[in-house]
Chain A
Amino acid sequence: MSTPFYVSPQQAMADRAEYARKGIARGRSVVVLTYADGIVFVAENTSRALHKVSEIYDKIAFAAVGRYNEFENLRIGGVRYADLRGYSYDRADVTARGLANVYAQTLGTIFSSVGEKPYEVELIVAEVGRTDADDQIYRLTPDGSVVDEKNAVVVGGNADSIGSYLGQRHRSGLGLAEALKLAVDGLARDPNGGSPRTLTPEQLEVAVLDRQRPRQRKFKRILGGQLARLLSGDESAAAEDEGDASADTE
């Protein structure tokens, strides 16, 4: 009978963290920024079918990087959690804080359980509030830690370099076009100091949680023509009618 090698708990955890980190670092980044009317999510994603940014509930959205099947599973779990909670209590009782807690427990349990491989995902759960002071952004790492973030957050490949770029330039009260431009400039940066890439609207997945939206559900994808106009700096495109935006998708 062979004796298994002894691995210290510290080493085992460090190995798992390293494994998860590497998986996440392979993917493109997602940027989440606050702006005057809410929170904008910008992901580099050429796929129209596989989303990195999604709606969870009225005021709550979800962004993720890493392994698609793993974060998709967590997204569906989050939607079920939110809908069940809203049905059992009230729509107002579904909060990003509660959801972040559940995700943290789930990720943390998987991370430290010997039988399972750690999830290679990093998540952002954000909730738009009535005023910008009430906006909440939580970042969740694969080991189940929750970080309460402000203003600008980046997860994925070059998170550190993009994060410091955004941190220096973000200010409160940005218009949507300004915030979007800042996010895209961040994503386009070359971590090795080369000249920035050019990102076209087709390479971007953009969505907002807009507190000014007259409906109960504040999440909205920004697509096609509206995205192109916003990227070219046309701030008036932010207020475009829903009908126009959805017409662009057809």
Chain B
Amino acid sequence: MEANLSGTGRLPAAFLTPGSSSFLDFLDSHAPQLLPGRRTLPEGMTVEAPHGTTIVSAVFDGGVVLAGDRRATMGNVIAQRDIEKVFPADEYSAVGIAGTAGLAVEMVRLFQLELEHYEKIEGAVLSFEGKANRLTTMIRSNLAMAMQGLAVVPVFAGYDLDLGRGRIFTYDVTGGRSEERSGFAATGSGSVFARGAMKKLYRDGLTGEQAATLAVQALYDAADDDSATGGPDLARKIFPIVTLITEDGFRRLDEDEVAAIAVTITEQRREHPNGPQAPLL
């Protein structure tokens, strides 16, 4: 019988090659077909696929809130009513994604794995900037697809353990990254309206609970004016996903907690359909 030198069973050489702590780099050398960025569409083609819409984020005292509505649209059709677009990236950060839903979910899985992989191999956690930069790389590799209508635009938010505060990074389709120093950010089709709402409602020194309410208010306003964004669906009991990241780590609010906020806001909007009013001067 011949000794098995190459084939079945034994870990291929790429697995035992020292050097990289990046799962993406490993995939690139060992299984490039699994990388989303390696795929191309035929020239001139566009594909219609479900799109996720609005994500909002705001910094509060001791953390950051990241929230998203639940609607995915395909042209004028509502493709899904209860899609989830906000995910934990690791213990202290989260990513919310607007854009092509299928690609976005794949990108998030890969991003989560990238952070976990680094942590296991190195025995240390990436810096906050380091995590944000890994996400840049992933978005940039998707540029060709973005040009053909399959864009993915995330918001990356988390608690920076070194600085001891919440931080938000937003991206554009080319991977351009910018830190939001104003304290709040929004992305997706309803982001214009959400940002307008947050501009008037945001203030320094919010508590986590107030920040969650702010996020749901902003999503309500986005849904009010953008048909692709879904508001709280009281009949079907579908509410936005709201997550808080603090020193204690990532926490997704229970459905009951979000429902309570959403119901209160809806009640108030019965009286004042445009929501709370900011002073004129």
From B4, B18, B31, B121, contact of A84 by CB (8 A): B31
A/B pair count, beta carbons within 8 Å: 66
The reply on A2 being an interface residue by CB < 8 A is no
Q: Which of A54, A73, A84 has the most CB of B within 10 A?
A: A84
Q: With the chains together, A81 CA to B16 CA distance in Å? A: 10
24 pairs of residues in contact across A and B, judged by CB atoms under 8 Å: A54-B123, A73-B18, A80-B15, A80-B23, A80-B30, A80-B117, A81-B15, A83-B23, A83-B113, A84-B27, A84-B30, A86-B113, A87-B34, A87-B109, A87-B113, A102-B9, A102-B10, A105-B4, A105-B11, A106-B9, A106-B11, A106-B16, A109-B9, A113-B3
Q: Which residue on B lies nearest to A82, using beta carbons?
A: B120
Residues of A participating in the B interface, judged by any CB pair closer than 8 Å = 49, 51, 54-56, 73-74, 76-77, 79-81, 83-84, 86-88, 101-103, 105-106, 109, 112-113, 217, 243
Contact call A77/B9, Cβ cutoff below 8 A: no
Contact call A81/B11, Cβ cutoff below 8 A: yes
Taking CB atoms, residues of chain A closer than 8 Å to B3 are 109, 112-113
Interface string of B1-26 (1 = CB under 8 A from A): 00111001111001110100001001
The reply on B98 being an interface residue by CB < 8 A is no
Smallest CB separation, B251 vs chain A (Å): 12
Q: A77 and B120 in contact (CB under 8 A), knowing A87-B110, A102-B11, A112-B3?
A: no
Contact call A77/B109, Cβ cutoff below 8 A: no
Taking CB atoms, residues of chain B closer than 8 Å to A217 are 116
Give the interface SS of chain B, mostly helix, strand, loop or mixed.
Answer: helix
Smallest CB separation, B153 vs chain A (Å): 23
Smallest CB separation, B25 vs chain A (Å): 11
Smallest CB separation, B3 vs chain A (Å): 6
The reply on B248 being an interface residue by CB < 8 A is yes
Taking CB atoms, residues of chain B closer than 8 Å to A74 are 16
Give the interface SS of chain A, mostly helix, strand, loop or mixed.
Answer: helix
Taking CB atoms, residues of chain A closer than 8 Å to B4 are 105, 109
Smallest CB separation, A34 vs chain B (Å): 23
Q: A243 and B121 in contact (CB under 8 A), knowing A76-B18, A102-B9?
A: no
Contact call A79/B34, Cβ cutoff below 8 A: no
Q: Which residue on A lies nearest to B247, using beta carbons?
A: A243
Q: With the chains together, A103 CA to B11 CA distance in Å? A: 8
Taking CB atoms, residues of chain B closer than 8 Å to A113 are 3, 5
Contact call A79/B117, Cβ cutoff below 8 A: yes
Contact call A55/B110, Cβ cutoff below 8 A: no
Contact call A106/B10, Cβ cutoff below 8 A: yes
15 A-B pairs besides A56-B120, A76-B15 with CB distance below 8 A are A55-B120, A73-B16, A74-B16, A76-B18, A76-B121, A77-B11, A77-B15, A83-B116, A87-B110, A105-B4, A106-B10, A106-B16, A109-B5, A109-B9, A113-B3
Taking CB atoms, residues of chain B closer than 8 Å to A102 are 9-11
Smallest CB separation, B248 vs chain A (Å): 7
The 4 closest A-B pairs by CB, nearest first: A105-B9, A77-B15, A105-B10, A109-B10
Smallest CB separation, B16 vs chain A (Å): 5
Smallest CB separation, B206 vs chain A (Å): 23
Smallest CB separation, A67 vs chain B (Å): 14
From B9, B14, B121, contact of A79 by CB (8 A): B121
Q: Which residue on A lies nearest to B123, using beta carbons?
A: A51
Taking CB atoms, residues of chain A closer than 8 Å to B34 are 87-88
Contact call B16/A54, Cβ cutoff below 8 A: no
Taking CB atoms, residues of chain A closer than 8 Å to B9 are 101-102, 105-106, 109
Q: With the chains together, A87 CA to B31 CA distance in Å? A: 12
Contact call A83/B5, Cβ cutoff below 8 A: no
